């Protein structure tokens, strides 16, 4: 999984995980693609971004950006936070929303005649610790980058991990069924990694629904055995709903989560 996986992730992108919908990729009508992230960072600040695009033809590599939608997040105390479109990043942003545990955050999007909504609470997580680098020989030259984290004693934690460098993006998920309460690793394998490469690893708290969504998406991508032009057998539904036209559900996922990021330079 390299950069093409990131393209697939945003093209199919983040609605109820158990549902898998068969789609004719050559004739399916365009849908809204939602990548909504409210992230609580390690310094206590929040990074709030909503990316909206349109699904395009199967053999088209770029999804058109949606810049004219109405986007807001409503907190359960009744306060609304409108998001403005940032043309430099092609994202809707709001720098005033501060995330708190116990609050419910409702994403509301008006796009033409469609009204999309999703509800989420903040999911906390644990920080990443030490990083280890190991060279792996065999079928090509791979570098294994491993970061460690301490899973809490209570059962029921779910994690989303990312690896990113200038040429690669990888994604993985884990639960704590077999690691509960232990110091645990998460590893990524990178081909032909040059010394001095700047790497960013992250750990994000997710719930069971998001875990199922991303796990299914990763499995489908792995099974396809190639890049963004390989046939995906199905579209995985996330957690955003079209309340006016339920059959015209969007693609995508909305998450509210604590995120820890760790930078590393390869040796």
Average the pLDDT over each of 175-184, 205-214, 234-243 and give the range with the smallest value.
234-243
What percentage of the chain has pLDDT greater than the value 70? 82
**2 pLDDT above the threshold of 60:** no
Nearest to 164 by CA among 36, 41, 263: 263
**Chain segment 53-97, per-residue pLDDT in tens:** 998 765 566 789 999 999 999 999 899 999 999 999 999 999 999
Three-state SS annotation for the chain:
CCHHHHHHHHHHCCCCCCCEECCCCCCCCCCEEEEEEEEECCCCCEEEEEEEEECCCCCCCCCCECCCCEEEEEECCCCEEEEEEECCCCEEECCCCCCCCCCEEEEEEEECCEEEEEEEECECCCCEEEEEEEEECCCCCEEEEEEEEECCCCCCCEEEEEEEECCEEEEEEEECCCCCCCEEEEEEEEECCCCCCEEEEEEEEECHHHHHHHHHHHHHHHHHCCCCCCCCCCEECCCCEECCCHHHCCEEEEEEEEEEEEEEECC
Per DSSP bridges, beta strands 183-191 and 168-175 are unpaired
pLDDT of residue 60: 61
Q: Total structural domains in the chain?
A: 1
pLDDT, average across residues 229-247? 75
Long-range contacts of 150-157 (CB under 8 A, 24+ apart): 150/126, 150/182, 150/183, 150/184, 151/126, 151/176, 151/179, 151/180, 151/181, 151/182, 151/183, 151/184, 152/126, 152/176, 152/181, 153/180, 153/181, 154/180, 155/180, 156/208, 157/125, 157/205
**222 pLDDT above the threshold of 70:** no
pLDDT of residue 4: 40
Average the pLDDT over each of 15-19, 48-52, 150-154, 246-250 and give the range with the smallest value.
15-19
Give the dihedral sign, CA 194/200/205/209: negative
pLDDT of residue 58: 53
pLDDT, mean over the chain: 86
Give the total residue count for the chain. Answer: 267
To which residue do tokens 């110091």 refer? 183
**27 pLDDT above the threshold of 80:** no
**Chain segment 144-181, per-residue pLDDT in tens:** 999 999 999 999 999 999 999 999 999 999 999 999 99
**102 pLDDT above the threshold of 90:** yes
Q: Is 49 exposed, middle or buried (0-12, 13-18, 19+ CB in 10 A)?
A: middle
pLDDT of residue 176: 97
| Residue-range definition of the domain harbouring residue 190 | 3-265
| Cα–Cα distance for residue pair 163/202, rounded to 1 Å | 7
Nearest to 236 by CA among 18, 5, 7, 8: 18
Give yes or no for a contact between 128 and 147, defined as CB atoms under 8 angstroms apart: yes
pLDDT of residue 218: 86
């Amino acid at each position: 999984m390299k950069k093409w996986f990131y393209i697939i992730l945003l093209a199919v992108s983040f609605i109820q995980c158990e549902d898998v919908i068969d789609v004719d990729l050559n004739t399916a009508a365009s849908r809204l693609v939602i990548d909504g992230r409210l992230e609580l960072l390690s310094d206590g600040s929040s990074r709030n971004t909503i990316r909206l695009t349109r699904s395009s033809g199967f053999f088209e590599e770029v999804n058109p950006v949606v810049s004219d939608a109405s986007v807001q997040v409503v907190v359960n105390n009744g306060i609304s936070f409108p998001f403005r479109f940032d043309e430099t990043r092609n994202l809707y942003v709001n720098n005033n929303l501060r995330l708190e545990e116990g609050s419910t955050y409702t994403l509301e999007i008006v796009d033409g005649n469609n009204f999309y909504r999703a509800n989420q609470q903040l999911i906390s997580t644990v920080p990443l610790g030490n990083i280890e680098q190991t060279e792996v020989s065999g079928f090509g030259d791979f570098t294994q980058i491993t970061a460690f984290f301490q899973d809490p004693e209570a059962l029921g934690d779910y994690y989303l991990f990312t690896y990113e460098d200038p040429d690669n993006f990888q994604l993985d998920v884990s639960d704590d069924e077999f690691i509960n309460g232990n110091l645990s690793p998460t590893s990524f394998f990178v081909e032909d990694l040059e010394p001095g490469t700047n790497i960013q690893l992250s750990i994000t708290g997710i719930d069971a629904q998001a875990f199922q969504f991303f796990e299914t998406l990763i499995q489908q991508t792995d099974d396809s055995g190639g890049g963004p032009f390989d046939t995906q057998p199905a579209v995985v539904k996330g957690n955003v709903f079209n309340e006016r036209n339920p059959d015209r559900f969007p693609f995508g996922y909305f998450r509210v989560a604590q995120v820890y990021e760790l930078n590393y330079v390869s040796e």
